[in-house]
Chains A and B, each alone.
Chain A
């Protein structure tokens, strides 16, 4: 199946494998999925994601979709959104969800940074390097958006409480008239230090041989 279609041959896979760390079979499976989603096109657009039925019930779907089109996640030191992505970028985004190999401490630390960076980018929608209170509130609003019984102020309260916690743990001492600009990446790291995200933020890519269909 692979050879007949217009799929990248093995050499490109090798290149991708090195960049992302996926195995050949994983790349192949993901490529098939990519083709399915993009209706055999070369690029994937935002609309293509709408054809996934299960994603519709996800409260943070828009943020997830945005993450795919965010240059910061392409590991190319770019910034800003794009309108369509190629398979390579798709794979790059996916590679953030690979499980770390059980190896040395340093690698774990960098893996953790990388995953937390991904989440940070998802929160920081205006690309300014900090998560402001408004952005954080937006996150919580989205999270709670699916439940009918929502009052704005509890969400705000939660966001405020969370923000205050970050500020307290990161800044320690602030004058009353100082202003805490927003959560920087370093603060974010410190905040989620005990969260063990490198163990949690993983998707099982090896078992994906049976693609499900979308509309």
Chain B
């Protein structure tokens, strides 16, 4: 890599370094502003306070000063200013890390961010100022945590989550309980040893120890997300660790409150334990219920937003946040509420909101969660520098050790039990990764921060130990998990995009397995899932999804989604189609269609059925086609709803009119695609149907079929190349011929032969909206180019030979 960099021009080489320098300067600036801000504010506020009575009293003897042209009034905007500064710092840091190429590969981002936090905290301390209490628990739990959890919940992959729910719950509930009691108990035991020289440790009682254990035992979703995101581990392990980190919140909440409550009293009775269990159920189920209710509310609201699309994303966010806050009101598990809300509302909301709103929701969630995560780690660093620390070697080392040991034992023990019930067993490698992925993070720290000093004299020691554990897990485990994953050759995430065949077979398999279960008479997993799906389809969808989409089966929804995605890609690429570099396949629709009997001559066909194409029209078409053969490129400038420029080679005004009308119709259809209203049920609006009708000339929507032929303006494959001088208007070449008719095949052949010298032709059939792929960056494997044409395939000829294509002789 260094060699490569050397080969670049000197300018290119220094750019990232320059950027880095700039960043460092900015950081230093910010680091210095903050203490300045902290310093100036008390002064100014004091001055103000002093001034005010003076002004009031001495109104009469108001001395006139020169009018201040420029004043400094910092405290007026201090709070928002500082918040913005922190956010800016966080974002710039994130930018910076990606400018340094090697670093982001070795060290996970979370470590770097903590380091930055340490630096900034150190700077502030050096400046002699008080470090602002950034990791204030309220700020953390109310502002920083919800975006991350909502992002996780909204994009939670439901299928693997539900399939592994039993395992996840086992790890979350039983695992966390085991961790808490093991760590707490053993810590207490360790603290009690050495009765000879009584140390400060002896003062710690059992209950605070257990409380400490419960704080430190919970796997942290933020840390897990941050680290696991970068290692791209396979879906199963990811969902296991991540799901566990999300669901153990309920356990943590209950244990925390239980022990905190009774630490004052000093004892916990059996009744309390029993109440604790009940409380756990209430907290967990209540949290989920609250989330589901808000989720359904959000889904229901989104049903009516078709006229005010702009605020659709807002509903998603606000309802979710309300769910979180409502759960927190009752001390229910806010995290579970948030997850339930996001997961519940997603399928319905996505069916209702526009494509743009969907993008907005996605990007806002990602943005907020990203900023939140960065801020959390930086604050962790800052708070470390700040917080009063009480370092006790024994306590801290024992804690770290116990955390590791208890995690390993817990995972191994639980897996042994779980594997009896799982079809796909967890291997040793899996267990290792699960155990190793049990990272602790900011939640533990914030919970520790919440402890009251008077009840817990050992608070500082606890905090120090918590911070040490967090640092240890994030730094040591976070940094080494990537090489370990490579070393152990753990399966990585499959990057391939979902193909339509896989979707078909997923559905097929679902039904098949349900059927087999029914035959065996076993009410298994699939049976209940199927029942839920049917219930969903029958009742819930009708309520929550607007319009026709409520009846759309999943397969069709998937298909339309893919079509739409590729339409967008195509439009975004500006109509420029490059040759797909990988896997150029010349397979086209015609290759898979069953062979038809030898085509009857067009003349015969014209005799067979009344020709719908009058002679004059035919001549025009032929003229157009011939002229296209001579031109290297022909495009129909269309798809700009404001300008519908006529093709200069078109003669015949009626042709223009027809085309214009076609364009408007088609464009309307495509616009409708935006709103997911292309449903099979109604007079089908999908482009496929539209094209099918156009090509088969059967439909009544448009003017009589004759005009459609007029649109066959040279399906010149060459026209899909991006012109160097292309204008900004993306073009779609609309070719409405059905590819199946033998005549059109001939046409294609002609063109192909004509255009053969242009090299590397793809003899791809034109079918309706022929959207050739423009090789996009994301996930474009060799299959992508194929997919475009595939999914926009003409539905094919209807079986009946009505196709009148008295086209070319």
Chain A residues within 8 Å of B, Cβ to Cβ: 30, 33, 36-37, 49, 52, 54-55, 57-61, 64, 68, 94, 97, 99, 102, 119, 122, 132-134, 139-140, 143-144, 146-151, 153-154, 156-158, 160-169, 171-180, 191-192, 194-195, 197, 199-205, 207-208, 211-214
Q: In whole Å, how far is A3's beta carbon from the nearest beta carbon of chain B?
A: 22
Contacts of B679 in A (CB 8 A): 149
Do the beta carbons of A161 and B521 come within 8 Å of each other? no
Per-residue contact bits, chain B 676-711, to A (CB 8 Å; 1 contact, 0 not):
000111001010110010000000000000000000
Do the beta carbons of A59 and B587 come within 8 Å of each other? no
Do the beta carbons of B513 and A158 come within 8 Å of each other? no
Do the beta carbons of B553 and A52 come within 8 Å of each other? no
How many contacts between A and B, using CB within 8 angstroms?
240
Contact partner of B520 (CB less than 8 A), chosen from A30, A179, A194, is A30
Q: How far is the CA of A186 from the CA of B589 in the complex (A)?
A: 21
Do the beta carbons of B553 and A192 come within 8 Å of each other? no
Do the beta carbons of B585 and A173 come within 8 Å of each other? yes
Contact partner of B512 (CB less than 8 A), chosen from A64, A133, A161, A192, is A64
23 contacts between A and B (CB under 8 A): A30-B520, A55-B518, A58-B515, A64-B515, A134-B594, A147-B552, A150-B680, A157-B688, A158-B559, A160-B795, A161-B559, A171-B587, A174-B585, A176-B745, A176-B763, A179-B595, A180-B591, A195-B505, A199-B424, A203-B513, A203-B520, A203-B526, A211-B521
Q: With a 10 A CB-CB cut-off, give which of B520, B526, B594, B789 has the most chain A CB atoms.
A: B520
Q: How far is the CA of A208 from the CA of B527 in the complex (A)?
A: 13
Contact partner of A143 (CB less than 8 A), chosen from B423, B507, B516, B789, is B507
* Residues B486-540 near A (CB distance < 8 A): 494, 496, 499-502, 504-505, 507-509, 511-527, 530, 534, 537
Q: How far is the CA of A161 from the CA of B519 in the complex (A)?
A: 33
Contacts of B752 in A (CB 8 A): 176
Do the beta carbons of B512 and A158 come within 8 Å of each other? no
Do the beta carbons of A144 and B556 come within 8 Å of each other? yes
Total interface residues on B, using CB and 8 Å?
78
Nearest A-chain residue to B548, judged by Cβ: A149
Contacts of B592 in A (CB 8 A): 133, 160, 163-164, 167, 179-180
Do the beta carbons of A157 and B504 come within 8 Å of each other? no
Nearest A-chain residue to B749, judged by Cβ: A176
**Is B779 an interface residue when CB atoms closer than 8 A count as contact?**
no
Contacts of A157 in B (CB 8 A): 559, 688, 793-796
Q: How far is the CA of A157 from the CA of B686 in the complex (A)?
A: 11
Do the beta carbons of B680 and A151 come within 8 Å of each other? yes
Closest 7 CB pairs of A and B: A149-B681, A168-B786, A147-B553, A149-B551, A151-B680, A153-B795, A54-B518
Contacts of A64 in B (CB 8 A): 511-512, 515-516, 519
Contacts of A36 in B (CB 8 A): 521
Do the beta carbons of B591 and A178 come within 8 Å of each other? yes
Contact partner of B553 (CB less than 8 A), chosen from A99, A144, A213, is A144
Nearest A-chain residue to B791, judged by Cβ: A161
Q: In whole Å, how far is B550's beta carbon from the nearest beta carbon of chain A?
A: 9
Q: How far is the CA of A203 from the CA of B525 in the complex (A)?
A: 9
Contacts of B783 in A (CB 8 A): 165, 168-169
Contacts of A208 in B (CB 8 A): 520-522
Whether A154 contacts B688 in the complex (CB less than 8 A), given A164-B589, A180-B592, A192-B502, comes out as yes
Nearest B-chain residue to A172, judged by Cβ: B585
Do the beta carbons of A167 and B587 come within 8 Å of each other? yes
**Is B94 an interface residue when CB atoms closer than 8 A count as contact?**
no
Do the beta carbons of B594 and A144 come within 8 Å of each other? no
Do the beta carbons of B793 and A174 come within 8 Å of each other? no
Do the beta carbons of B524 and A58 come within 8 Å of each other? no
Contacts of B794 in A (CB 8 A): 157, 160
5 A-B pairs besides A52-B519, A175-B586, A212-B522 with CB distance below 8 A are: A68-B519, A97-B513, A149-B548, A192-B505, A207-B524
Q: How far is the CA of A171 from the CA of B583 in the complex (A)?
A: 10
